[in-house]
Chain A
């Protein structure tokens, strides 16, 4: 493992050219061409004075461990044709300024150990990006935009709370274990395609929510398809563009949303015969901007949610079977397009009622709780009366002549009458029965 620094400005990054590589920053040339075990640096000493320069990748693939472009004082362009790829076995950092990546070949991340990072600082990958390292993991440190296809073959891609934009498509490919971790990040598929999100190799593909809420957002203004492959997606699937969103496969999602509703009507269509399961459903339309829920073909699909209440509105639903145990309320402003089952075309019942200090009960629960409270209160009153009856007459007289309000307070505080008696007796010894109403109130409030 060695460090390799680019020098002398414009040149070719090839398998044979050693003129532009140095073992130190700004040092002499002639160092060996970087291997997959070597870190490469492009810095303030990579050019002549502060002039712009171009590093053109030739031969394929160009390889390195860490790729770091940082400290550049003249604009560096990393160029190459589409057949010339760059394989990074470590981490990658692009400089936010004075750096341009115009190469259109595939960038492959093939680390087989964890802890690698990707920091593009607003510089987009001009070509495709592939993650293909068994046991590797890569955490985004900034948003990442990939102009070509994004493919996850092996390893863990951790969005780390950032946005990964797959401008051509995001796909899984056959490999060993592959995982997409969100940690609050968003995967954006912005293309119109039948494979905009293509879980083509669902075997050994998993998703991890991590911290926060992750999202896969399908944003194209034209029709696009989410090929789920029957996997579990521990994230929200979002309709984020005007074009119809088709979801194929029987998948499981944490949630479904429709951010497009702020702008226009939209549609989410499911393949007939599939069952998609949701932990939450938050997809709604808005007035004059309905969200259409339907099937791709003239047959029904099934939506399932195990429990709770779906509280939606402004939907136009057809050929949809809602099931699983949840109450599927389409809302009072939704329309029934026919061939539906399980949907309730009304607003859901009020979720919370504030009365008597009880939160979150429906009316039946509230009434039952109220009756139970009344019964317990009566029992406590009786118990207190019995306790008072057992006291010496002079004590009982003073307590029972206490204001009714004080007794009520004691009852509501659910005092224990044995404790009451003990405290009264203790106080009796100490104050020699010289209590007045304030003493009694104090005793009761201490309970």
Chain B
């Protein structure tokens, strides 16, 4: 079974909303979970600030 942790970050680009799906018996600390959330957000920022180029 898994648990879902919803989270959001606000930014100049708008709101990033995601969720972590973790096993019910996971051993992550709160700090480690916060790091995972931050990584998701950082990865998203990296994507939208360096999007693929397309001919106009």
Contacts and interface: CB of A to CB of B under 8 A. Distances in A.
B17 A167 contact: no
A168 B54 contact: yes
A219 B13 contact: yes
B18 interface: yes
> DSSP majority for the B interface?
mixed
A221 B16 CA distance: 17
A192 B49 CA distance: 11
A320 B24 CA distance: 55
Nearest to A213: B15
Given A143-B40, A259-B12, A262-B12, A163 B17 contact: yes
A119 B21 CA distance: 9
Given A141-B4, A215-B15, A219-B14, A165 B21 contact: no
A145 B16 CA distance: 11
Contact of A194 (B11, B14, B56): B56
B56 A192 contact: yes
Nearest to A122: B40
B47 A190 contact: yes
Given A141-B4, A163-B44, A165-B44, A241 B17 contact: no
B6 A190 contact: no
A163 B53 CA distance: 21
B51 A192 contact: yes
A61 interface: no
A193 B43 CA distance: 22
B47 A124 contact: yes
Interface stretch (A181-189, A330-338, A432-440): A181-189
Contacts of A191: 51-54
Interface string A9-35: 000000000000000000000000000
Contacts of B52: 147, 167-168, 191
Classify the interface of chain A: helix, strand, loop or mixed.
loop
A150 interface: no
B19 interface: yes
Nearest to A93: B21
A168 B48 CA distance: 10
Q: How large, as a class, is the contact surface on chain B?
A: 20 to 34
A165 B11 contact: no
A324 to B, nearest CB: 26
Contacts of B48: 165, 167, 188, 190, 219
A169 B54 contact: yes
B55 to A, nearest CB: 8
Interface in A103-157: 119, 121-122, 124, 141-143, 145, 147
Contacts of B18: 122, 142-143, 162-163
A260 B13 CA distance: 7
A96 B18 CA distance: 13
B56 A193 contact: yes
A221 B49 CA distance: 8
A161 B4 CA distance: 13
A87 interface: no
B54 A185 contact: no
B13 A188 contact: yes
B13 A193 contact: no
Given A167-B52, A190-B47, A192-B56, A215 B40 contact: no
A141 B5 CA distance: 10
Given A141-B19, A167-B47, A240-B12, 5 more contacts: A122-B39, A165-B44, A168-B51, A186-B16, A220-B51
Interface of A: 96, 119, 121-122, 124, 141-143, 145, 147, 161-163, 165, 167-169, 184-186, 188, 190-194, 215, 217, 219-221, 238, 240-241, 259-260, 262-263
Interface of B: 4, 6, 11-21, 39-40, 43-44, 47-49, 51-54, 56
| 7 closest cross-chain pairs (CB), A and B | A217-B14, A143-B18, A190-B48, A219-B13, A240-B13, A190-B51, A240-B14
19 contacts: A122-B18, A143-B19, A145-B47, A161-B17, A163-B17, A165-B47, A167-B47, A167-B52, A168-B52, A186-B16, A186-B17, A188-B48, A190-B49, A191-B51, A191-B52, A215-B15, A241-B13, A259-B11, A260-B12
